[in-house]
């Protein structure tokens, strides 16, 4: 822990990769747990373009349910610690797989949301995109402009990552001195390969997760614990 804290304190260039685990203590369910299920359905079968093509109403009902749950959630001390450490670093990027917007709500500014945002809604007809936080009275929602079907502005399994976010992430992973990987099971590509990429380019990799993951073996430090406890301990300078 002390060694890892030292790496974070002294580096100039810091990258952080987060996943659903970082929001778990805020009450947002992760996908891979009993809480993540909806009507006994596996999220992996709903978060796909095929599911949307087949039954857009059902996919939207699931998103509306998730949006309602997330609306009542606030950032936790893990989010706050990452926003604080950003302020101290000239070169910083927070790469998140989370779609809940809690990093920005905590004050993080240099954020690449590589899986999009659950608050953004995009028209499949004309491409118009808007942030919209309220519930839709009728599902699936339709576009005012072209009447097309609107979809959640998130990246589904099998889809490409948004170009700008993904490029920014790759560039940062090739130049950062330290990478923190927090709250991700590291099984969803391409983020699953990010730790190895950073390491190949010489970064120290620190994992924060209560459980072992497929990337644990290549990390320079693994800290087993909840991100709401561990990230504040790692990121704030000791008050002595």
Catalytic residue IDs: 115
Give φ, ψ of 163 to 5 degrees: -55, -50
Question: How, if at all, do strands 116-123 and 150-154 pair?
Answer: antiparallel
Q: What DSSP line would sit under 60-78, residue for residue? A: HHHHHHHHHHHHT----HH
Are the C-beta atoms of residues 16 and 94 closer than 8 Å to each other? yes
Please select the residue that binds ligand NAD; options are 100, 165, 177, 207, rule is CB under 6 A.
Answer: 100
For tokens 């659950």, what's the residue? 118
| 37 is an interface residue for Zn ion by CB under 5 A | no
CA neighbor of 184 nearest in space, from 158, 156, 213, 161 = 213
Interface positions, 28-57, toward ligand NAD (CB under 6 A): 28, 30-32
| Residue 143 touches which of ligand NAD, Zn ion, none (Cβ within 5-8 Å per kind) | Zn ion
Binding string, 132-171, against Zn ion, x = CB under 5 A? Answer: -----------x-xx-x-----------------------
| In the complex, least distance from residue 141 CB atom to Zn ion, rounded to whole angstroms | 11
Residues that bind ligand NAD (CB under 6 A): 19-21, 23-25, 28, 30-32, 97-100, 115, 183-185, 188, 209-211, 213, 226-227
């Amino acid at each position: 822990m002390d060694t890892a804290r030292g790496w974070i304190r002294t580096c100039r260039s810091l990258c952080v990769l987060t996943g659903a685990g970082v929001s778990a203590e805020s009450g947002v369910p992760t996908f891979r747990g009993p809480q993540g299920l909806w009507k006994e359905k596996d999220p992996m079968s709903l978060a796909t373009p095929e599911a949307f093509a087949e039954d857009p109403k059902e996919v939207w009902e699931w998103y509306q349910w998730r949006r309602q749950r997330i609306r009542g959630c606030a950032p936790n001390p893990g989010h706050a610690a990452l926003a604080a450490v950003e302020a101290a670093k000239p070169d910083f990027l927070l790469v998140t797989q989370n779609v809940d917007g809690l990093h920005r709500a905590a004050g993080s500014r240099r954020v690449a949301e590589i899986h999009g945002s659950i608050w953004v809604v995009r028209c499949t007809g004309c491409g118009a995109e808007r942030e919209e936080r309220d519930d839709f009275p009728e599902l699936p929602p339709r576009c005012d402009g072209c009447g097309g079907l609107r979809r959640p502005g998130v990246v589904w399994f099998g889809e490409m990552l948004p170009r700008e976010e993904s490029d920014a992430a790759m560039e940062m992973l090739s130049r950062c001195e330290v990478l923190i990987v927090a709250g991700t099971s590291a099984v969803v590509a391409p983020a699953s390969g990010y730790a190895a990429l950073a390491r190949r380019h010489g970064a120290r990799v620190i994992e924060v997760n209560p459980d072992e993951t497929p990337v644990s073996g290549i990390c320079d430090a693994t800290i087993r614990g909840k991100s709401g406890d561990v990230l504040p301990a790692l990121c704030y300078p000791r008050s002595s």
